[in-house]
Chains A and B, each alone.
Chain A
């Protein structure tokens, strides 16, 4: 019996259509923590060096951590790693939502996708049963519609991680989208999925995750939970245009978005859901967790962001790309985005020529966070989060935006209590250094 881990991963060969479950011994992957670290390790093990992004030899790796799907605050995250830019370091996308936890409840720690399919397919995983299905009818569909169709075809309670038209057209600024709302558009990861003709991965699981030392684990998570509610977060970098709310999705019904009190929808395990940033007179931007009152959201801004995500585009880099094409201020940006996603701007948007946005943690959780970096407010926190600590927290399955709340000793004791293997704070930092050096950002 393994604790925290499921102990196996799924190998998918799209060329032959072969699906195989393989063992993943926890002691072998201990040094890589999980998620981003695990995916980086598996990539190095499975793929020869100097492989072309758009070749059958390239692999697309989805990986969760031993803490994904547990009570870790802000801890439902998973990573997608591949080589999307030739001769550069690996690309790593970090996603939230329920897809990662669901993959573990289905009994898999990771998925290694190899080869290239001759026609569009999607992968359906249900409690250890796996199947590649035809996705011809889904090709060209937007993210939300794709989610609806796939849930109707498989299971109402299933979770979907898919690409939109932008990914199909192999755009560098395309995003992987989990649960129709949580997008991560870094460095063309979604373009590689599009190149492999893999439209979506649908998962449903009913198994549980057990931990080695539960009482100890719960005590630490409760402490982190209380701290995340009490800590003020500070946004660094460019000044904000009005208040920004850390939300991940809003109602699709545009009528509901008018007026006040737009309802946010959040990631699995999120404790920062009701935080909002306000630009204060001092120039510092402070976020406060607001338990008692729902902060207001700029409905028009959110509607626009949702439209980008629905097309499978990373809103931030797509907007930068579209700026020179917006001759008329009244020209509809969403309409332009539609043209962009469907390949209307030609070859120069392809993954190889446009590596997309490389920003803080490379993650757009839902696309509504407009701040480049978040740190805990207070003296001694002037620099942004340390790259190796951030890589370690991300590898432990923590949201990059909330990773700043955790320090190495806490990550180490959480991992030790969950897996039953001993991690020292130095182990965690060493792993973090190794992972951030391997690239992905």
Chain B
């Protein structure tokens, strides 16, 4: 099972992820209809891609009165069943990351579904700011970086 890992310092704000996402789900290039959004701070030249993190204890899933949100046993994604959904937008109100949104064009809730296990955003990201990694090896590279620093302190070499 794989998860999406965000490395903000690598993001170049090219917005390819937004286009790939809106195209995969809505068949059009439109950042407004993307499940991932790149938050940009112009003056500091900082940008961070942000999308649903598929919480283990998902607030959206717990709050949904229509029981329209469920876990995909294969990918681990929290999926919205649009037939069951009553568009009350309770999931939007409770999501601590603001990553469920309402699509005014298609009149439905938009939320990352991990593209059935093949996330398109990670596929097009040129710099490795969004990567799709196995759950068991999440953050291994960060652990290695931290370990290297410790190693340098201990033995003076990187």
| Residues of chain A at the chain B interface (Cβ within 8 Å) | 69-71, 73, 98, 105, 144, 147, 179-181, 206-211, 214, 218, 222, 225, 228-229, 249-253, 256, 263-271, 273-274, 289, 291-292, 294
Contacts and interface: CB of A to CB of B under 8 A. Distances in A.
Q: Which of A70, A253, A271 has the largest number of chain B CB atoms within 10 A?
A: A271
Given A210-B28, A265-B12, 6 more contacts: A222-B123, A253-B43, A265-B13, A266-B14, A269-B19, A289-B126
Contacts of A225: 124, 126
A291 B127 CA distance: 5
A269 B14 contact: yes
B42 interface: yes
**Max chain B C-beta neighbours (<10 A), residue from A252, A270, A294:** A270
Interface in B7-21: 9-10, 12-16, 19-20
A120 B64 CA distance: 53
B30 A208 contact: yes
Given A214-B27, A274-B12, A71 B20 contact: yes
B14 A207 contact: no
A95 to B, nearest CB: 16
Contacts of B13: 265-266
Chain A to chain B: the 4 pairs with minimum beta-carbon distance, closest first = A208-B28, A208-B30, A265-B45, A273-B12
B26 interface: yes
A144 B45 CA distance: 13
Contacts of A147: 42
Contacts of A98: 15
A109 to B, nearest CB: 14
Contacts of A271: 14, 16, 126
Contacts of B9: 263, 294
A197 to B, nearest CB: 26
Given A71-B20, A218-B23, A266 B12 contact: yes
Contacts of B14: 266-271, 273
Contacts of A264: 12, 45
Nearest to B31: A105
Contacts of B47: 265
Interface in B38-81: 42-47
B77 to A, nearest CB: 22
Given A105-B30, A214-B27, A273 B126 contact: yes
Contacts of B10: 291, 294
B29 A208 contact: yes
A245 to B, nearest CB: 12
Nearest to B22: A208
B145 to A, nearest CB: 11
Nearest to A209: B29
B128 interface: yes
B150 interface: no
A252 to B, nearest CB: 5
B42 A70 contact: no
A253 B42 CA distance: 11
Given A207-B30, A252-B44, A291 B12 contact: no
A181 B33 CA distance: 26
Given A208-B33, A209-B28, A292 B44 contact: no
A252 B43 contact: yes
B88 interface: no
Determine which residue in B10, B42, B47 has the highest number of CB atoms from chain A within 10 A of its CB, and name it.
B42
A98 B13 CA distance: 10
Given A180-B42, A269-B16, A208 B26 contact: yes
A75 to B, nearest CB: 10
Contacts of A73: 16, 126
A249 B19 contact: no
Contacts of A256: 44
23 contacts: A70-B19, A71-B16, A71-B29, A73-B126, A98-B15, A208-B32, A208-B33, A209-B29, A209-B30, A210-B27, A229-B126, A249-B45, A251-B46, A252-B43, A253-B44, A263-B9, A263-B45, A265-B45, A270-B12, A270-B14, A273-B126, A274-B12, A274-B127
A104 to B, nearest CB: 9
Contacts of A292: 128
A163 B128 CA distance: 35
B80 to A, nearest CB: 20
A269 B15 contact: yes
A282 B64 CA distance: 65
Contact of A71 (B23, B42, B43): B23
Contacts of A209: 28-30
B113 to A, nearest CB: 18
Contacts of A266: 12-14
A372 B15 CA distance: 27
A144 B28 CA distance: 32
B44 A214 contact: no
Given A251-B43, A251-B44, A294-B9, A214 B23 contact: yes
Contacts of A229: 126
A214 B31 CA distance: 17
A129 B128 CA distance: 38
